[in-house]
Amino acid sequence: MTTVLITGCSSGFGLETARHFQERGWTVVATMREPREDLLPASERLKVLPLDVTDGASIAACLEAAGPIDVLVNNAGVGLLNALEGVPMEAARRVFETNTLGTIAMAKAVLPQLRERRAGVIVNVTSTVTLAPLHLLSVYTASKAAVNAFTECLALEVEPFGIRARIVLPGRAPETAFGQNARKHMPLGIPDAYGEIAEGVFAKWADEPADEVTHASDVAEAVWRAATDPTCPMRLPAGADAVALAERVRRGMGMA
């Protein structure tokens, strides 16, 4: 397999994953809502294409321009951090349209070609927030947890056709644009009634060890393993904090 299509490549996990595959000689189809040719090294094995995963016509046009692909990495997503009472329903719908239905739509669109070739991999990037409950993340967590369940069921469906589906679960990544992204969907801010809870959450984050976070390179390496290693487990945590949380959950300890 030599061609990978990655969604959400304008920054963060997607951009670093595109670099990771490009450095290893793969043909990379890097997609984003507003394409920028200057983000990755120019190469005959690089295509930068526009893609809105919430738009069926955009998906069809992107796949037509991409040509045959061997691996799909569903990384595009939007963040949302707020108490449920502070989340407008249009914001909740937008999160599910991108994070959940966009992932499903992309997988559905690429499956026919993978099935015909009886080979391929679909890697869905979700989050370790799905491993244990957290304040202010109910809607975002629900959108990602749905992708976990979808991927595990999909893997059963496509295995007879030689196709694998895997999940990469990043932890907290301060260096990415998640926080800025999430604020776009908080037009009214956190409701006053939840102010004390929010202050406690932010204070806890500030006190967490600086070396126990997830870097974009951690996610890129995990996606690479999921795409290239047939023995990779269904769920692969990415980042020091993600690995530690997954181990605590496995041992029945939950959040620290």
The question of whether 194 is a catalytic residue gets the answer no
Catalytic residue among 13, 21, 140, 150: 140
- Tens of pLDDT, residue by residue over 71-129, are 999 999 999 999 999 999 999 999 999 999 999 999 999 999 999 999 999 999 999 99
pLDDT digits (tens, 9 = 90+) for 13-71: 999 999 999 999 999 999 999 999 999 999 999 999 999 999 999 999 999 999 999 99
**Which CATH fold would you assign to the domain 3-250?**
Rossmann fold (3.40.50)
| Concatenated DSSP letters of 137-199 | -HHHHHHHHHHHHHHHHHHHHHGGGTEEEEEEEE---TTSSHHHHHHTT-TT-S-GGGHHHHH
pLDDT at position 175, please? 83
Tens digits of residue pLDDT in 134-169: 999 999 999 999 999 999 999 999 999 999 999 999
| C-alpha pair distances (Å), 241 with each of 3, 167, 205, 213, 216 | 30, 17, 12, 5, 13
- The answer to whether the beta carbons of residues 172 and 205 sit under 8 Å apart is yes
- C-alpha torsion 157→162→163→166, nearest 10: 90
pTM of the model: 0.94
What's the Cα-to-Cα distance from 110 to each of 18, 19, 91, 160, rounded to whole Å? 18, 22, 28, 16
Domain ranges of the chain: 3-250
pLDDT of residue 254: 62
Q: What is the pLDDT of residues 172-228, one digit of tens each?
A: 998 877 666 655 655 558 999 999 999 999 998 888 888 889 999 999 999 999 999
Phi, psi for 164 (deg, rounded to 5):
-110, 150
The pLDDT, as a whole number, for residue 1 is 61
Question: What pLDDT was estimated at residue 251?
Answer: 86
Return the sign of the alpha-carbon dihedral for residues 96, 87, 219, 176.
positive
DSSP state of 84: G
pLDDT at 205: 84
- Mean per-residue pLDDT for 238-246? 94
Report helix, strand or coil for 69. coil
What separation, in Å, do the N-terminal and C-terminal C-alpha atoms of the chain show?
Answer: 40
